[in-house]
Structure 1
Amino acid sequence: MNIEQYLSTHDSLVYSNKGVSMLPMLRQGRDLMIVRRKREGERLKKYDVAIYIRPPHDYVLHRIIRVDEGGYVFLGDNCENKEYGIREEQVIAVMTAFVHKGKQIDVTDKGYIFYSRFWYLIYPIRRAARRSKRFIKKILRKLTGRK
Structure 2
Amino acid sequence: MSGKELSDGFIPAYQWSSAILPVLNEGHALKLHFDGLSMYPLLVGGRDDVLIEAVSGKRLKRGDIVLYIRKDGMHVLHRIHHVEVSGYYMLGDAQTWIEGPIDEDDVRAVVTTIIRKGKSIECSALAYRWISELWLFMRSVRPQIIKIIHWVHRMRKS
Contact 2:52 2:111 in 1 (8 A): yes
Structure 2 gaps of 5+ residues are: 1-14, 146-158
TM-score by length of 2: 0.74
CA RMSD of aligned residues (A): 1.9
Structure 1 gaps of 5+ residues are: 131-147
TM-score by length of 1: 0.80
Contact 2:82 2:88 in 1 (8 A): yes
Contact 1:7 1:36 in 2 (8 A): no
Matched residue type, 1:111: A
- Once the two structures are TM-superposed, the CA of residue 56 in structure 1 deviates from its matched residue by 1.9
Residue 137 of structure 1 corresponds to none
Specify which of 35, 38, 46 is matched with residue 18 of structure 1: 35
Contact 1:17 1:26 in 2 (8 A): no
Specify which of 74, 77, 82 is matched with residue 58 of structure 1: 74
Contact 2:95 2:139 in 1 (8 A): no
Residues 122 and 108 of structure 1: is their aligned pair in 2 closer, same or farther, counting only changes over 3 Å? same
Cα displacement string for residues 18-72 of structure 1 (whole angstroms, at most 9, x for unaligned residues)? 10011112212211011101116x4411111100001221110000011111411
4+ aligned runs moved over 2 Å, structure 1: none
Residue 125 of structure 1 corresponds to 141
* Structure with bigger gyration radius: 1
Specify which of 94, 104, 107 is matched with residue 123 of structure 2: 107
Residue 49 of structure 2 corresponds to 32
